[in-house]
């Protein structure tokens, strides 16, 4: 069980850039194809930009053609929370960091085998750390 991190919105504003705050705390979406991490192919781990929790291994990243970093599966299912999202008038599944509650993106059932899932994640919600 993960220990939850709770901060005031003022504390989050001090930690996150304005774009990160808009995406991670206000559930905005970054512009497609605007994130450097979308094309990045280094070997390592993608972490939550707000609390540094390990979220996705680089080996599970794939090119989805959607304009955002996409992953087949999380590093650990317990590190993500999924919630029903009807904000655009259609059902989607929102993906949040399980430790700090930050919005990361959405998961869709149209990914490659074997999972069949596509975790479509805002790049500004991620920090990448190379394997040493």
CATH code (residue 88) = 2.170.150.20
Strands (E) in 33-102, as ranges, are 44-48, 54-57, 61-62, 70-71, 80-85, 92-97
- Check residue 98 and give its pLDDT: 97
Selecting among 35, 48, 97, 120, the annotated active-site residue is 120
Answer yes or no: is 2 within a domain: no
pLDDT at residue 2, as a whole number: 87
* pLDDT computed for residue 35 by the predictor: 83
pTM: 0.92
Is 27 part of a structural domain of the chain? Answer: yes
H/E stretch holding 15: helix 9-15
**pLDDT given at position 131:** 77
Query: Does residue 9 form part of some domain?
Result: no
Other C-beta atoms closer than 10 Å to the C-beta of 107 total 23
- 1 in any annotated domain: no
The answer to whether residue 76 sits within a structural domain is yes
Question: What distances in angstroms separate CA 79 from CA 3, 75, 132, one per listed residue?
Answer: 11, 8, 22
Residue 40 domain flag: yes
Q: What is the pLDDT of residue 77?
A: 94
Residue 120 annotated as catalytic: yes
Q: How many domains does the chain have?
A: 1
Task: Answer yes or no: is 114 within a domain.
Answer: yes
Q: Is residue 42 part of a domain?
A: yes
Whole domain around residue 60: which residue ranges? 16-130
What is the per-residue pLDDT for 11? Answer: 97
Would you write out the chain's pLDDT as a tens digit for each of its 132 residues?
789 999 999 999 999 999 999 999 999 999 999 887 777 778 999 999 999 999 999 999 999 989 899 999 999 999 999 999 998 888 899 999 999 999 999 999 999 998 999 999 999 999 999 976
d(CA 36, CA 109): 25
């Amino acid at each position: 069980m993960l220990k939850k991190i709770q901060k005031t919105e003022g504390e989050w504003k001090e930690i996150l850039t304005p774009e990160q705050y808009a995406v991670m705390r206000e559930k905005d979406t970054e512009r497609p194809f605007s994130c450097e991490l979308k094309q990045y192919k280094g070997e390592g781990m993608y972490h939550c930009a707000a609390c540094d929790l390990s979220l996705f291994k680089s080996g599970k990243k794939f090119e989805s053609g959607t304009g955002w970093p996409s992953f087949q599966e999380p590093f650990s299912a317990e590190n993500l929370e999924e919630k029903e999202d009807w904000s655009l008038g259609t059902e989607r599944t929102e993906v949040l960091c399980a430790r700090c509650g930050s919005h990361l993106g959405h998961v869709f059932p149209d990914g490659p085998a074997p999972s069949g899932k596509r975790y479509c994640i805002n790049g500004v919600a991620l920090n990448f750390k190379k394997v040493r």
